[in-house]
Chain A
């Protein structure tokens, strides 16, 4: 009898456990299941080891719980030569058949996460433990999702399937309960920027807006944002964005509201013939820096204090060829950086194409940010 009671009790506990496991959302509203991720265009870490995945193909942002939340204060320097060859070998193919789409560092555990795409478009999420490459499972995990296909107030003329706007997520960031992403349309020349509160809710509270910046105060443009980050200047939150030809533009975060025509202030022109690739904020002792990687120029460093005190907006065209204007910046002796993220408070992880063609993962030390 005792044995029967024990078996029944255990069965109830087991059933309750399974039920809780399957249907109860966690504190971020995530449920267990398999997210149908079709592509990984951009990655960004949120709180508690939550990783946001921008999926251009399914026009969605996924939040997955990596359960990787053991806090580490300082990260060891990372030096991995030929990372593309090593990742390709771990996937059973050659480097020419894969593309590294994004690399981010979990700010809690300081572990490196890497989005890779096979030549047939299959997306893969990997985690680096030293030089060991491990897959991050995207099956039976806790996740939530927010669709960016249809936003209230936007045309929803997709009834024949032909009005669906295809766009590529160019950058993704998380800041204080908000997921932000910039998109580049495949067809129209436009800037799509979305602000989505996290945890995601069924009610679509996300905002879709048109962001303009006025070049030289004359012609307004809503060209697509290539990369962006957020910062606080003089106690106010700002979105710092950069575009092709490298203008640096500030937008007040409190103005980023649904349907608004938001104008930014151009504070710097960092050079024509170049596209910004990645942008991060590095804080070191008393200084906070914007660090930007570029397609045709070296990594640039801008002291936020200089941005904060730069009151102007560029209104005059630059006279000298390929020169720069606006807020002062420093060019770092680092070139051909394709991806960049903060490794810890003082170090920056870079994916760099070397002059011999190798693709290496390495660390920029605080020497460059002091």
Chain B
């Protein structure tokens, strides 16, 4: 009978242990091993259960517990803290996906943990290249490349080539500047201004980057790495032809404005007399009402950078209005409303103004 009781007790203990174990495992894997804490798809910390560190005094965790990258001999730097009887190690930057880390206690390897490679299926894509036109002035100043996801900085020019007339890959045509927007979804790619600007040394020596009457291909290679380390899969080719030099500043007086009627939410349409910088056009133009306040609404520029569509949030009210344009709005050759990209000191310079206005009346 005693034996039965003993056996029953053992089974009961096993069941209790088993269910306790399973309960924990459902929550967070094996309770006896370390686990990863995730935030926004990033492995931000490693959590050590108490039993894992039973031999380590609480006040010595920082000295005795170390995480090292496999093949590295120095510990990863970060903060240790206690939470619900667990020790949490948070590195300064999140753990890198796909890498293996080793856990040492008293310099003895006791565990290994691999951060799973990303499960993100969205590879970065190029959404647009501006200017989108296929005929561009020979003194074109810049391209914008728009990506679908935040990208990694560095070595941008390795991914970009400019080919002339299907034959020559041009060298030293781009400025070695990494100019991303804050979200790192848009790269500004400057054609070397020193070669465009007349009379500067590079212009004299190497000539302008683009020459009128030629066919060019802007090749953007695949394998750009996004901020999660995922590579782009598609390359992109932009073909274009070069036309004459643009040496005239944009002039808002030559724009056509289609004025909507009062009481409607129709679009205000501003047609430039030439294609302008797409990104600057989106940021430098606003509509002002009779009281001098900005009319709230959505502003959209067509792909060619030649037409602005402004849709007001509320119905138009009758009265005087104005389109305000910051002088920094540039055309494709970097000439802005106030000055040319090349300012000839021998020519008389007019006074500049920060804001240009085109008045119109809503009826």
Scoring A residues 87 to 99 as 1 if CB is less than 8 Å from chain B, else 0, what string do you get?
A: 0011111100101
Instruction: Report yes or no: B74 in contact with A272, Cβ–Cβ below 8 A.
Output: no
> Which residues of the other chain, B, contact A57 by a CB distance below 8 angstroms?
182
Q: Is A215 an interface residue (CB 8 A)?
A: yes
Task: Give the contacting residue for A92; candidates B93, B175, B194; CB below 8 A.
Answer: B93
A220 on interface, CB distance cutoff 8 Å: yes
Cβ < 8 Å to B, chain A residues 268-291: 269, 272-273, 275
Give Cα A318–Cα B204 distance, bound, in whole angstroms.
Answer: 9
Known: A90-B77, A121-B227. Is A220-B343 also a contact (CB below 8 A)? yes
Does A295 make an interface contact (CB < 8 A)?
Answer: yes
Specify which chain A residues have a CB less than 8 angstroms from the CB of B299 in the assembled complex. Answer: 160, 162
B94 and A120 contacting across the interface, CB-CB below 8 Å: yes
On whether A168 and B150 interact (CB within 8 A), knowing A93-B99, A157-B286, A219-B198, the answer reads no
**Which residues of B lie under 8 Å from residue A130 when comparing CB positions?**
none
Task: Please determine whether B179 and A92 come into contact, CB atoms closer than 8 angstroms.
Answer: no
> Across the interface, which residues of A come within 8 angstroms of B74, CB to CB?
86, 89-90, 133
Instruction: Find A272's partner among B73, B197, B201 (CB 8 Å cutoff).
Output: B201
State the interface size on chain A (CB cutoff 8 A).
56
- What string of 1s and 0s marks CB contacts (under 8 Å) between A37-64 and chain B? 0000000000000000000110000000
A321: B residues at CB distance < 8 A: 205
Contact across chains for B154 and A99 when beta carbons are under 8 A apart: yes
**Number of A-B pairs whose CB atoms are under 8 Å?**
174
Give chain B's interface residue range (CB within 8 Å of chain A).
Answer: 35 or more
Query: Is A216 in contact with chain B by the CB < 8 A criterion?
Result: yes
Contact between chains at A186 and B179 (CB < 8 Å): yes
Among A121, A160, A218, which residue has its beta carbon within 8 angstroms of that of B199?
Answer: A218
B172 lies within 8 A of chain A by Cβ? yes
> Which listed residue, B334, B344, B354, touches A189 by the CB 8 Å rule?
B334
Query: With A219-B343, A221-B197, A272-B202 given, is the CB distance from A186 to B188 under 8 Å?
Result: yes
Which of B92, B181, B190, B343 makes the CB contact (< 8 A) with A124?
Answer: B92
A216 to B67, CA, bound (A): 59
Contact A272/B205 with A215-B197, A245-B200 known, Cβ cut-off 8 Å: yes
User: Cβ of B294 and Cβ of A273 under 8 Å apart?
Assistant: no
> Would you list which residues of chain B between 161 and 184 have a CB under 8 Å from chain A?
172, 175-182, 184
Q: Is the CB of B67 within 8 A of A92?
A: yes
CB–CB A91/B91 < 8 A? yes
Known: A97-B229, A160-B286, A163-B284. A92 touches B95 (CB 8 A): yes
**Chain B residues near A89 (CB, 8 Å)?**
68-69, 72-74, 76
| CB 8 Å contact bits of B182-213 with A (1 = contact, 0 = none) | 10101010101110011111101110000000
Chain A interface (Cβ < 8 Å from any Cβ of B): 56-57, 86, 89-94, 97, 99, 117-122, 124, 133-135, 155, 157, 159-160, 162-164, 166, 168, 184, 186-190, 214-221, 223, 244-245, 269, 272-273, 275, 295, 317-318, 321-322
